[in-house]
Amino acid sequence: MSISARSALVLFPTRLQPWTGLNNLKSPAVCCQRKKSSHTPPPAKYGGRHTVTLIPGDGIGPELLNHVRELFRFCCVPVDFEIVRVDSSASSEDDINNAVTAIKRNGVALKGNMETNHNLPPSHKSRNNLLRTSLDLYANIMHCQSLPGVPTRHKDIDVIIIRENTEGEYSSLEHENVSGVVECLKIITRVKSLRIAEYAFNLAREKGRRKVTAVHKANIMKLGDGLFLQCCKEVAAGYPDITFDNMIVDNTTMQLVSKPQQFDVMVMPNLYGNVVSNVCAGLVGGPGLVPGVNYGKDYAVFETATRNTGKSIANKNIANPTATLLASCLMLDHLKLHAYAKMIRKAVLRTLSETQLQTVDLGGQGTTSEVVYSIMQEIQRGGPRTTEQI
């Protein structure tokens, strides 16, 4: 029997059951329940090709995701995109419900940010928020790393930020009982806090990290953040090999701008996560560089970490494609197409370190298409476009 046939035999059984494959690089103990539940369909993989939902969004989303598709086609990545458009200005929720159904069908999505116009009435909920809560994507991970070749004031930053993605200040529960007095509810539940803490410690362990810091404001919000902190402490007790620390959010942000190297893994509720992740994104070079992931028990949605629409730079060919491309690499890792992921990631980082090609937000003069073209050239230089699939 020829070598390829033998290797095909060896590979075949593992290929049939990608979902039982243990913890992939990014989502450890989120054991995919997809095959076991009677309601969620099996992974969308037919004939060796995956289907992934693509939501273009607004602003720079469509153009950057077009580049992703272009690049994937160029590299012959076995991923097909099912495009679902969501009109952020329409008041009916049909669009977003279709998107949610598509993601339930495919299990994985790559999205751009959908604009939330705050001049519309309060009943018009944020589309991004609806997506996150309907699919119960409870963990938002952002791995913030200083990239070589990018000029920043701080060096050697390597922080993983885990942010609770479904409750907290983002519950959209507000009311005006008395005219002129608005009450916004911030919800913290024990179940979700335990869940996110468990996720954080698991991830820290998987990645060999030594410290988890919980960020809170329990001196003011004693019950709410007090509960969150308590849940983190309980979970920490089950992971004696990992140091657990806690810090108040104002001190955290101050330390981040002076000594960010002291942080390792951070876990926090929704709003603090928003602020802290934006501060970290600013420290490593801006919103155009960092990819983010939203994980749920059964679904995963990939996007840029800071979720900017970028309306002011849309369609001008100046947006930085790095964040979206790195997010697509994370998606490929999730689908276990590691060879493709590595290839694209290497090309992206190589191109990034070439200063003439950096986009405007990093202080360079390159355009988006120049950067993507350079990445393609880099990939072509690296060897044959089609690699033998693992």
Partner 1 sequence: MHTHTTLMMATLTKALKPILGRQLGNTAKVFGAAVNSQRGKPTYAGQIIPPPAKYGGRHTVTLIPGDGIGPELLNHVRELFRFCCVPVDFEVVHVNSALTSEDDINNAIMAIRRNGIALKGNIETNHIMPPNHKSRNNLLRTSLDLYANVMHCQSLPGVQTRHKNIDIIIIRENTEGEYSSLEHESVSGVVESLKIITRNNSLRIADYAFKLARDKGRHKVTAVHKANIMKLGDGLFLQCCKEVASGYPDIEFDSMIVDNTTMQLVSKPHQFDVMVMPNLYGNVVSNVCAGLVGGPGLVPGANYGRDYAVFETATRNTGKSIANRNIANPTAMLLASCLMLDHLKIHDYANMIRGAILTTMNETRLHTVDIGGQGTTSEVVQSIMRIIQSGGPLTTEI
Residues near partner 1 (CB under 8 A): 116, 118, 122, 126, 129, 153-154, 169-170, 172, 174-176, 179-191, 217-224, 226-227, 229, 249-251, 253-258, 271, 274-275, 277-279, 281-283, 286-287, 306, 308
Question: Which single residue is written with the structure tokens 């355009």?
Answer: 367
Looking at the DSSP assignment, which residues form a beta bridge with residue 215? 247
User: 229 in helix, strand or coil?
Assistant: helix
Tokens describing residue 111: 């999205």
> Closest approach of Cβ 197 to partner 1, in Å?
14
Task: State which residue, 247 or 341, has the beta carbon closest to partner 1.
Answer: 247
Q: What is the closest distance, in whole angstroms, from the C-beta atom of residue 164 to partner 1 in the complex?
A: 13
The residue among 106 and 129 lying less far from partner 1, judged by its C-beta, is: 129
Report, in Å, the least distance between residue 52 CB and partner 1. Answer: 27
Closest CB to partner 1 among residues 11, 221: 221
**Least distance in Å: CB of 135 to partner 1?**
18
Largest CA distance in the chain: 81
DSSP state of 179: T
Q: How far apart are CA 64 and CA 84, in angstroms?
A: 15
Cβ atoms 205, 240 nearer than 8 A: no
Assigned token pair, 327: 């997010």
Neighbours of 128 (CB within 10 A): 24
User: Smaller CB distance to partner 1: residue 18 or 226?
Assistant: 226
Least distance CB 71 / partner 1 (angstroms): 27
Cα(64)–Cα(356) distance, integer angstroms: 20
Residue closer to partner 1 (CB basis): 251 or 377: 251
Half-sphere exposure of 86 (CA within 13 A, CB side): 31
Which residue shows structure tokens 């590691």?
A: 338
Beta strands 139-145 and 291-295: pairing type? antiparallel
Is 91 in contact with 120 (CB distance < 8 Å)?
A: yes
Q: Min. distance of Cβ 258 from partner 1 in angstroms?
A: 5
Nearer to partner 1, 275 or 339 (CB): 275
